[in-house]
Amino acid sequence: MMASWARRFCARRAGVLVSRTLEKSVGLVSSTGRGLHGPRGSEALARWGVCAEKLGDPREGPLFARASAAGALLLGATTLALATEGHPKPRVVHAEAVAPAPGRDLPVFSRGEVEGHDTLEKGIWVICGDKVYDITEFVQNHPGGASKIMLAAGKSVEPFWQIYQQHLGNPAVQEILGDLQIGWLDPKDVAGMELDLDRNDPYAREPKTHPALSVHYAKPVNAEIPPSLLMDSWITPNDLWYVRHHHPVPVEHIEGRDKLSLELGVSLGGSHTTQVLSLQDLKEKFEKKKVVATMQCGGNRRGGLNGVDDTKGTSWDVGAISNAEWAGVSLLELLRHMGVEGPEDAEKKGIKHVQFESHDGMTASIPIEKALNPYGDTIIAYEMNGVDIPKKNGYPLRAIVPGVVGVRNVKWLKSITLSSEEAEGPWQRGMNYKVFSPSVKDLNSVDIASVPTIQEQPVQSVIVSPQDGETLEVVPEEELEIKGYSWSGGGRGVIRVDVSIDSGKSWHTATLKEGSEQNPMRAWAWTFWEVSIPVPVSQGKVATKVDICCKATDYAHNCQPETPDSIWNLRGLNNNSWHHVNVNLDDVS
């Protein structure tokens, strides 16, 4: 049976084409403004199969012989009647009489031209291989939603299909695209999709950032997940993990080496001892430990603080957060291997911090208490979601410190050092990850060293759907479906999420979904939530605008603050104020 979305698309497609036929006849114009004159136009119309005798229900008769569940248009009509001004006699085109054209007569477009068609107003073009397609009329009928397919607007669809692999080799998808091709990609740009590397550029060998990510900076890469993709999967696919680099990926240090290794050191009282374990040693001599943990950048939602006053840093929205299953060696076991038997032994030796150093020179540290906590689940990971950690995510080794700010989860791990001191460097002792008072507008008179750096993060919740500024078609009897994520640092499970559609005057308790089954004292991963709230009606009329907000409460009964004003800070860190989205309601009853 034809899926409802496919029927709607078919009906809409036919309506558009018949309307255009009756209006323009000979000078048929596509959504791109390009004419479909002559044989090519006749062929396209014949393949679309519009039949003048059937202008009633477009789902009946030969006009729509069938449509696949994936949305292919396999339209089986045989005739098209054109009778408009200048053509008093209908001209009939028989589909059977039109031989399929090879398509090489289509125009050639540059990559730049395609990139310029990324809005509904300009037309939505995409690239697949060496072909260019105009998908404008299909966008609103995409089974995965318009917001997802719009991520590929003006780009290649192929990187997205590596994630949504149901598209690969699917004949139904090819049927749709066959009718939507408008041209070919310039051969120079086809080759240019794999640009020659500039060896003088320190970023020349950077792993590719998935085009679905919203990129704030390309060098170094700062990129987050769009809201439309955040909750597609409780475990975030590796390609879609948010990226926060401070330097180029140290490719020369992690590629082409016969023996990848980890240096373990103890630096106390002026003495320094080291030993080295190879990557193979870590895999073979220690038990593999797994942990599912969410990681959040300290600057997630910084953009919301910029509405109070300017901050210093990347203006992240809500997508600098991701979740994965990590596997590797327990840090507690490594400390025992280094001769630290437990908390008393560490205290006796004066060990207060575990320092991590990356191959890119970045350094950070965590308190020894976290490392030695048998329930802390800190590991040195070599796998991410069942495969070797991708280069952009920290290959070959990454420190995974659940419940702690992302920057302490050091990528491309080179060494671990036990010390009485915190790690040196701006990411630990400098201003970068320190939260100052809202009254501090500059650091001229601030003793930066006296301010503790961020470790555990506060309770957080975010609305993912609907999105800010979205218009929803509703009727008074319907309910608004609202979804989002929640998380709290330190392994504190989220016990409740409250949602309001009247700016916080009244509240509805959401249903906690994936992640809610975690131990509330070791809830390292986020929890998804959703709630259905009746469409607001006043004096018989649906409200035209709605302010939706949410707040979470964790296992320690910490709750999100109402406004960002009281937690504003110069660096724009740890914004966990109530999250708001404003949506428009369109009464279609």
Which residues form the catalytic set? 142, 167, 244, 297, 433
d(CA 206, CA 248): 7
What's the chain's Rg over C-alpha atoms? 29
Cβ(209)–Cβ(392) below 8 Å? yes
Going by their DSSP bridges, the two strands 181-185 and 131-134 should be labelled as antiparallel
2 exposure class (CB count in 10 Å sphere: 0-12, 13-18, 19+)? middle
In the 8-state DSSP scheme, what is residue 475?
-
- In this structure, the number of other CB atoms found within 10 A of the CB of residue 443 comes to 15
Q: Between the CA atoms of 169, 171, 176 and 181, what dihedral angle is there, to the nearest 10 degrees? A: 60
> On the CB side of 515, how many CA atoms lie within 13 Å of its CA?
31
CB burial string 372-408: b at 16+ within 10 A, e below: beeebbbbbbbbbbeeebebbbbbbbbbbbbbbbbbb
Backbone angles phi, psi at 306, to 5 degrees: -65, -20
Identify the H or E element spanning 528.
strand 527-534
Tell me the three-class secondary structure of 424-440, residue by residue: CCCCCCCCCCECCCCCC
d(CA 487, CA 466): 19
d(CA 170, CA 367): 52
3-state SS assignment for residue 282: helix
- In this structure, the number of other CB atoms found within 10 A of the CB of residue 154 comes to 21
CA angle (541 as vertex; 537, 544 as ends), nearest 5: 80
Tell me the three-class secondary structure of 412-470, residue by residue: CEEEEEEECCCCCCCCCCCCCCECCCCCCCCCCCCCHHHCCECCECCCEEEEEECCCCC
d(CA 415, CA 326): 19
Residue type for 359, please?
A: H
- In this structure, the number of other CB atoms found within 10 A of the CB of residue 436 comes to 18
Q: Minimal CA–CA distance to 248: which of 207, 209, 294, 211?
A: 207
> On the CB side of 187, how many CA atoms lie within 13 Å of its CA?
1
d(CA 267, CA 451): 24
Tokens 């078609």 correspond to what residue?
473
For the chain, the straight-line distance linking the first and the last C-alpha, in angstroms and rounded, comes to 28
